[in-house]
């Protein structure tokens, strides 16, 4: 195999870039002149990308489509909305370019983040952390009474993939009653599956509903007023997928009416929400700023994921996290 040119727009330390360079040698690493501010921002195309055989990062769609030598694209996030169009899929299929994402890098962190949401809610942490009261005071009795055990509660996961599978493993000792929604039942899932046609009943039975839907035409505002109305009174809604999959006005109404007990959101639409958005004003709405996938040494894990896939690529093996 001749020398491959690997282009990355990853923002990280010189040490990690050196590690990447050494790990792929004798193949060549190309770096852009100027990096973007975020892995999620739409960075301008670097001319060097056009020469690359392999790209790791977040290239512009037009840059991918106009590239001359591209043989493989690894997206450095779990989400890949910008590439998920019929045109793009047709183009990469036509040119035989596999597209992989980095979902493995984020599975553990996302699963732990939503687990933290569920436990913080069960144990009433935000309220407890701002309550100063004596043992026996009325607010103390109320806080203790509102605290719950997560063990034995029921959970519906909407969007069954690697994050859901990891979460199910982590939750095992809690003996929760877990169901998941998936477009098509494959038969190898770790929990009972409902399809979208069958989801109403499942929505009505869950103490916790976790949204991990990806962002696409089908999922747009999937959680709407009708779906919230189908949920169990007092259910807790979590979103670690994408903000676009939720009708936020309907969510706010469900939180205000008491239909939902609380919402824990790591994603919104847009991010961040405008300062005057109603969701900021609701006491039972908890928002973290899209940090569910974050982890100490995230860049190292991301690069290791690429290096491992690069070895598979060179060996002609099946790539991990191939999405197109």
Residues that bind a second copy in the complex, under the rule CB under 8 A:
36-41, 108-109, 112-113, 115-117, 119-120, 122-126, 128-129, 131-137, 140-141, 143-151, 169-174, 271-273, 275, 280, 286-296, 298
Establish whether 308 is a catalytic residue. no
CB of 236 to a second copy, least distance (A): 14
> From residue 73, how far is each of 56, 92, 189, 227, 306 by CA, in Å?
6, 10, 28, 36, 10
Q: Which of 71/127 has CB closer to a second copy?
A: 127
Catalytic residue among 51, 112, 165, 271: 271
CB 5 within 8 A of CB 53: yes
CB of 270 to a second copy, least distance (A): 9
Catalytic residue among 208, 242, 259, 305: 242
**What is the CA 10 to chain-centroid distance, rounded?**
19
Catalytic residue among 60, 82, 221, 290: 290
Establish whether 113 is a catalytic residue. no
- List of E strands, the chain: 5-8, 28-30, 54-57, 72-75, 99-100, 154-158, 177-181, 193-194, 208-211, 235-239, 260-265, 285-287
- H, E, C per residue of 87-138: HHHHHHHHHCCCEECCHHHHHHHHHHHHHHHHHHHHCCHHHHHCCCCCCCCH
**How many CA atoms, within 13 angstroms, populate the side-chain half-sphere of residue 238?**
27
CB of 13 to a second copy, least distance (A): 11
Q: Which of 108/189 has CB closer to a second copy?
A: 108
CB of 23 to a second copy, least distance (A): 22
Could you tell me whether strands 72-75 and 54-57 are parallel, antiparallel, or unpaired per DSSP bridges?
Answer: parallel
CB of 47 to a second copy, least distance (A): 23
Q: Which of 1/37 has CB closer to a second copy?
A: 37
Q: Which of 204/294 has CB closer to a second copy?
A: 294
Q: Which of 50/147 has CB closer to a second copy?
A: 147
Establish whether 271 is a catalytic residue. yes
Instruction: Using DSSP, state whether 196 is helix, strand or coil.
Output: helix
Q: Among all residues, which ones are annotated catalytic?
A: 242, 271, 290
């Amino acid at each position: 195999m001749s020398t491959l040119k690997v282009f990355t727009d990853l923002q990280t330390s010189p040490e990690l870039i050196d590690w990447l360079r050494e790990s792929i040698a004798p193949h060549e690493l190309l770096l852009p002149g100027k990096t973007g501010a975020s892995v999620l921002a739409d960075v301008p195309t670097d001319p060097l990308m056009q020469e690359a055989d392999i790209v790791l990062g977040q290239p512009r769609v037009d840059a991918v489509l106009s590239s001359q030598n591209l043989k493989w694209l690894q997206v450095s996030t779990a989400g890949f909305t910008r590439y998920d169009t019929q045109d793009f899929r047709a183009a990469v299929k036509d040119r035989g370019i596999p597209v992989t994402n980095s979902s493995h890098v984020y599975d553990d962190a996302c699963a732990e983040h939503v687990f933290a949401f569920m436990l913080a809610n069960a144990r009433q942490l935000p309220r407890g952390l701002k309550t100063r009261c004596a043992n026996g005071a009325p607010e103390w009795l109320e806080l203790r009474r509102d605290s719950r055990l997560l063990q034995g509660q029921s959970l519906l996961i909407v969007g069954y993939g690697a994050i859901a599978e990891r979460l199910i493993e982590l939750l095992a000792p809690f003996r929760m009653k877990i169901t998941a929604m998936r477009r098509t039942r494959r038969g190898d899932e770790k929990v009972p599956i409902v399809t979208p046609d069958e989801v109403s009943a499942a929505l009505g039975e869950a103490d916790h509903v976790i949204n991990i839907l990806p962002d696409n035409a089908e999922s747009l505002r999937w959680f709407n007023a009708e779906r919230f109305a189908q949920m169990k009174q007092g259910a807790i809604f979590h979103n670690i997928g994408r903000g676009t999959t939720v009708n936020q006005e309907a969510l706010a109404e469900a939180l205000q009416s008491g239909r939902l007990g609380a919402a824990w959101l790591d994603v919104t639409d847009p991010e961040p929400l405008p300062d005057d958005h109603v969701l900021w004003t609701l006491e039972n709405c908890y928002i973290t700023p899209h940090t569910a996938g974050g982890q100490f040494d995230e860049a190292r894990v991301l690069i290791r994921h690429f290096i491992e896939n690069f070895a598979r690529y060179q060996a002609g093996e099946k790539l991990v996290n191939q999405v197109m």
